[in-house]
Structure formats: C-alpha cells, structure tokens
Amino acid sequence: MPEQPKAIPQVLQELWELLLAYGKQETTKPLRGLGQFVGFGLAAAVVGATGILMITLGTMRVLQTHTGGSLGGNWNWVPYVAGLAVLVLLIALAVSRINAKGSKLR
C-alpha cells in the first residue's frame, strides 16, 4: 500500500527537526575538537615559555656565580647580554623551523 502524502505542517516540522539535528552535529562536535586543540596548544605554550625562561635564567645564573667574580663591577652586564644571546638563538632556531604552508619538510 503506498504511503499517504504528509501535510505541509508535518513536512515543515520534520524539516525543522532535521535541520536542527544537522546544525548541532556540524557545530558542537567540531567545536569540542577545537577546544581540545586550543587547550593542548595553550598547555604547550606555557610549558615551552617556562622552559625558555629557565634556560635563560640558568645561563645568567651560571655566569654570575661560576666565573669567580671576574664578571663583577663594570662587567656585571655580561650575564644579561649572554641571556639575551641565548634568547636570540632560540628565536632564530624557532624561525628557521617555520615552513611555508604546504611545502615539504626539510
């Protein structure tokens, strides 16, 4: 037996429910994935920044304490310049690792 044609309000109601379900499916799932991606990215940024800070401060502290006082007086600026040099080196390393979008890895 053939199916009876549906009334227009019933068709519109089914269409609305279908569109609503599709909208939820296509927006909430990708947003959850994006939230995880952003969360891991922020955690990595915090850990990376902390590591860079520790490397820089460690460089400065080693030069301040283990040079036998030869970097005192008028030479007390040298550990700070060395820390800055370490930061510049780390920035240069990071920039050198950036590839153009779609290019092959080196």
**What's the pLDDT score for residue 1?**
61
pTM of full prediction above 0.85 = no
Would you list the DSSP string of the chain? -PPPPPPHHHHHHHHHHHHHHHHHHHHHHHHHHHHHHHHHHHHHHHHHHHHHHHHHHHHHHHHHHSSTTTT-GGGTTHHHHHHHHHHHHHHHHHHHT---TTPPP-
Q: How confident is the model at residue 53 (pLDDT cuts 50, 70, 90)?
A: very high
pLDDT computed for residue 57 by the predictor: 92
Residue 103 has a pLDDT of 63
Mean local confidence (pLDDT), 15-32: 87
